[in-house]
Chain A
Amino acid sequence: MAQAVATKPQPTRRSVKSMYPTWFYIPAGVLYVVLFAIPTFASFYFAFTRWSLQDVEFTGLQNFITFFSEPQLRTGFTNTFIYGFVTSGLKVVFGLALALLLTGQLMARGYLRSVVFFPVLVSAIGVGITFKVLMDPFDGLINSSLEAIGITGPAWLTDPQWALYSVALIDVWKGVGIATLIYIAGLAAIPQEYYEAAKVDGAGGWKNFWHITLPLVRPATATVVLLSLIGGLRSFDLIWATTRGGPGFTSDVIASVIYKQYQAGFYGLSTAGNVVLFIVVTAIVVPVSYFLNRREVER
């Protein structure tokens, strides 16, 4: 052991002397430990128990067995992945498109940028309730408008085939502002010289986009994909506000399954579910993050 420590290579980076004394970290550190670290580790224990607010009974792996044999869990898992990847993909496409539009020569550019960003600031519950009204299959504004041009709209949130995708679309509407913002910053960081050189070589708009813009906004894409994937995988509030996982279980995601278990008073079971969710999100996000960042360095 001692040998291993002794042979450990010295860190190459010189330690920089901090401007502030170490005890400045204490308030933030205490908050982090008390409100985040302790509950997180406690939950690893409570996941193995059947507990109520009054007593605890150790049940071993029982909660995990029950959790994985939940009939709606398979739907939940599939839906979580569909939701995560659909929202994340659409946010990349729409975010980049909007960012290109909003960095171009455009009237009222500042105003339009605010309009695109505005939905991000509204609470998910508020957005959910609003869209529930807008997407009402019979009196909702969306279907009434579609009807006026002769299209019979789907039942959006109440049709089992559509419900999950409808919520995903709302999520994209609400979250695309962040993606756009990140892309605008990413686009601004691309030196103009590349475009000038390409122009000399006779490249058109499409070639510019494909060979210069797209490769050079990769860091922005990585951030957008990561953020929206994490957000999508643990999404809950919007789904709860619009469909509550319904109709039936057709738009249930892992988080809503867990929440329903908690609501029903199965505290141990829902703690186990959260531990599983934590592991799943980590297992997906860490490799994705590693992959995206590695490519960035190699470039």
Chain B
Amino acid sequence: MSVHKRRLLGGTMAAAAAVALVACSGGGGGNGDENVEITLLVQTGGTGPAWGEALIEAFNEEHPEITVTLNSQPGGTEGDNLVKTKLATGEMEDVFTYNTGSLLQAINPDQNLVPLGDEEWASTLIEPFVPVVSTENGLYGAPNGTSQAGGILYNIPIYEELGLEVPTSWDEFMSNNDAIKEAGKTAIIQTYGDTWTSQLFVLGDFGNVTAQDEDWATEYTAGNRKYVEQPALQSFINQQEAYEGDYFNEDFASALFDDGLRMVSTGEGAHYPILSGGVSTIAQNYPDNIGDVGFFPLPAQDAEDTRATIWLPNAVYIPSTTEGEELEAAKLLVEFVNSPEGCRLQVELNVPAGPFATSLCELPSDVPQATQDLQTWVDDGLANPALEFVSPIKGPNLENITVQVGSGISTAEEGAALYDEDVIKQAQQLGLEGW
């Protein structure tokens, strides 16, 4: 209790000081060229901080009158809590990067963020991106980075050596796995040391679910579809079959995301169900092998239904606590993220793993093989957004449940039932109808 009070007190004092400062500078002179100070928040880990620094440097060449200070914080669930706390206590930085889709809905955008729907760039967004940064009342974020897909990164040399074809149905995929296993290689790479990577059999299969039942996501949000029923149950069954087929690397229980990327790029393993964003790490750590890694979506049972499952990029937002000239400066910075120079910076540090979400930016011509493979699926219209972008419901325990199914601790049916239980809490916390 008192901590809050003290914070509030600190906040008031800071505000008072700021008012005093503004008053002083207001007396000092003109409006146009005085120095405005704003802050930018990025997530640590990966290329976040490096991108932030580069962005600020480029931004200052164009707007020397705005001083931007870079702050960083951890990502993941820990970061989610920090973001919520900062927004609730009014201490959020003036511009911050954060997820789109269900995680954005969880930070209550209508109350906490500045609507940006009237900005010029807002009309250039690709259609599937608009809902993931919007509520009924407005649009709140500008895209930052490229989209990616959840599917299978595969090792092209192994495919060539064994004369395999890229599979489009689950049966073809399984017979490829048998052939690879017979050749004495790891057919499927799993890395449960980083538990989130275990979810891809389920999350990356969602494009196929949508292909079979267009309204699945809407009905799921309304509480009328469940994972214990087909077609969604199949995602869990697929993971169970993959485990029972004994296709996994022997250290699947302890291996990490980075190990998985190493295996698929150097040919220690053939298939790695993962986000295609992994290619940017491969480009950094195994640049000689980047051409050896291709992409295909997780195959549906019926080749007709196979779709790429797309993850839309993160976005930059402005909290509603940013006002006045700071707000104007913050809007300029947000706009700059998708300027020609901003677009270049987005793909300079992160090798693009999929298309941009705004027509303002274009992919460079030398993108990796896996990105080109994905682009074909998108261009053919065979791509659907991932569940977290079309429904606010995402249970927190999915990664533990998929570890259980993928390690033979529980069956697909048990896992699906557990997950259906798990999401009830999320739906209730969000106050959705029908739960």
Instruction: Give A contacts to B, CB under 8 Å.
Output: 34-35, 38-39, 42, 50, 52-54, 66, 69-72, 136-138, 155, 157-160, 244-250, 260-266, 269
Asked if B88 CB lies within 8 Å of chain A CBs, one says yes
Contact A248 B400 (CB under 8 A): yes
Q: Tell me which residues across on chain A come within 8 A of B24, comparing CB atoms.
A: none
Contact A248 B77 (CB under 8 A): no
Contact B418 A247 (CB under 8 A): no
Asked if B232 CB lies within 8 Å of chain A CBs, one says no
Q: Tell me which residues across on chain B come within 8 A of A66, comparing CB atoms.
A: 424-425, 428
Measured in the bound complex, the distance between the Cα atoms of B250 and A35 in whole Å is 49
Q: Tell me which residues across on chain B come within 8 A of A42, comparing CB atoms.
A: 1
Asked if B403 CB lies within 8 Å of chain A CBs, one says yes
Contact A248 B254 (CB under 8 A): no
Q: Name the distance in Å between B194's Cβ and chain A's nearest Cβ.
A: 11
Q: Tell me which residues across on chain B come within 8 A of A269, comparing CB atoms.
A: 425, 429
Q: CB within 8 A of B85: which of A50, A53, A72, A245?
A: A53
Given contacts A38-B1, A155-B254, A264-B425, contact A160 B418 (CB under 8 A): no
Measured in the bound complex, the distance between the Cα atoms of B407 and A284 in whole Å is 35
Contact B401 A138 (CB under 8 A): no
Q: Tell me which residues across on chain B come within 8 A of A265, comparing CB atoms.
A: 80-81, 84, 106, 429
Q: Tell me which residues across on chain A come within 8 A of B89, comparing CB atoms.
A: 53
Contact B429 A53 (CB under 8 A): no
Asked if B397 CB lies within 8 Å of chain A CBs, one says yes
Measured in the bound complex, the distance between the Cα atoms of B414 and A249 in whole Å is 13
Measured in the bound complex, the distance between the Cα atoms of B409 and A261 in whole Å is 22
The winner among A157, A158, A269 for most chain B CB atoms within 10 A is: A158
Please list 19 pairs of residues, one from A and one from B, whose beta carbons are closer than 8 Å in the complex, sorted by A's number: A52-B429, A53-B84, A54-B88, A69-B421, A70-B421, A71-B421, A136-B254, A137-B251, A137-B253, A137-B254, A155-B254, A246-B400, A247-B192, A248-B409, A249-B400, A263-B80, A264-B77, A265-B81, A266-B425
Q: Tell me which residues across on chain A come within 8 A of B195, comparing CB atoms.
A: 244, 246
Measured in the bound complex, the distance between the Cα atoms of B80 and A53 in whole Å is 13
Measured in the bound complex, the distance between the Cα atoms of B5 and A38 in whole Å is 14
Q: CB within 8 A of B429: which of A69, A159, A245, A266?
A: A266
Asked if B369 CB lies within 8 Å of chain A CBs, one says no
Contact A158 B84 (CB under 8 A): no
Measured in the bound complex, the distance between the Cα atoms of B426 and A6 in whole Å is 56
Instruction: Give B contacts to A, CB under 8 Å.
Output: 1-2, 77-78, 80-81, 84-85, 87-89, 106, 108, 111, 192-193, 195, 250-251, 253-254, 396-397, 400-401, 403-404, 407, 409-410, 418, 421, 424-426, 428-429
Q: CB within 8 A of B81: which of A137, A260, A263?
A: A263
Q: Name the distance in Å between B397's Cβ and chain A's nearest Cβ.
A: 7
Q: Name the distance in Å between B260's Cβ and chain A's nearest Cβ.
A: 15
The winner among A157, A248, A266, A269 for most chain B CB atoms within 10 A is: A248
Q: Which residue of A lies closest to B108 (CB)?
A: A54
Measured in the bound complex, the distance between the Cα atoms of B192 and A160 in whole Å is 13
Contact A260 B401 (CB under 8 A): no
Contact B396 A248 (CB under 8 A): no
Measured in the bound complex, the distance between the Cα atoms of B400 and A248 in whole Å is 4
Measured in the bound complex, the distance between the Cα atoms of B429 and A263 in whole Å is 13
Contact A248 B407 (CB under 8 A): yes
Given contacts A246-B403, A269-B425, contact A72 B397 (CB under 8 A): yes
Q: Tell me which residues across on chain B come within 8 A of A244, comparing CB atoms.
A: 195
Measured in the bound complex, the distance between the Cα atoms of B254 and A244 in whole Å is 13
Q: Tell me which residues across on chain A come within 8 A of B421, comparing CB atoms.
A: 69-71
Q: Name the distance in Å between B238's Cβ and chain A's nearest Cβ.
A: 18
Contact A248 B401 (CB under 8 A): yes
Q: Which residue of B lies closest to A163 (CB)?
A: B253
Besides A244-B195, A265-B84, 10 other CB < 8 A contacts?
A54-B108, A66-B425, A69-B421, A70-B421, A137-B253, A158-B254, A160-B407, A248-B400, A248-B410, A264-B396
Contact B1 A39 (CB under 8 A): yes
Ranked nearest first, the 10 interchain pairs of A and B with the lowest CB-CB distance are: A264-B396, A248-B404, A53-B88, A158-B253, A263-B77, A158-B254, A248-B403, A248-B409, A34-B2, A138-B251
Contact A249 B253 (CB under 8 A): no
Measured in the bound complex, the distance between the Cα atoms of B404 and A136 in whole Å is 19
Q: Tell me which residues across on chain A come within 8 A of B410, comparing CB atoms.
A: 248
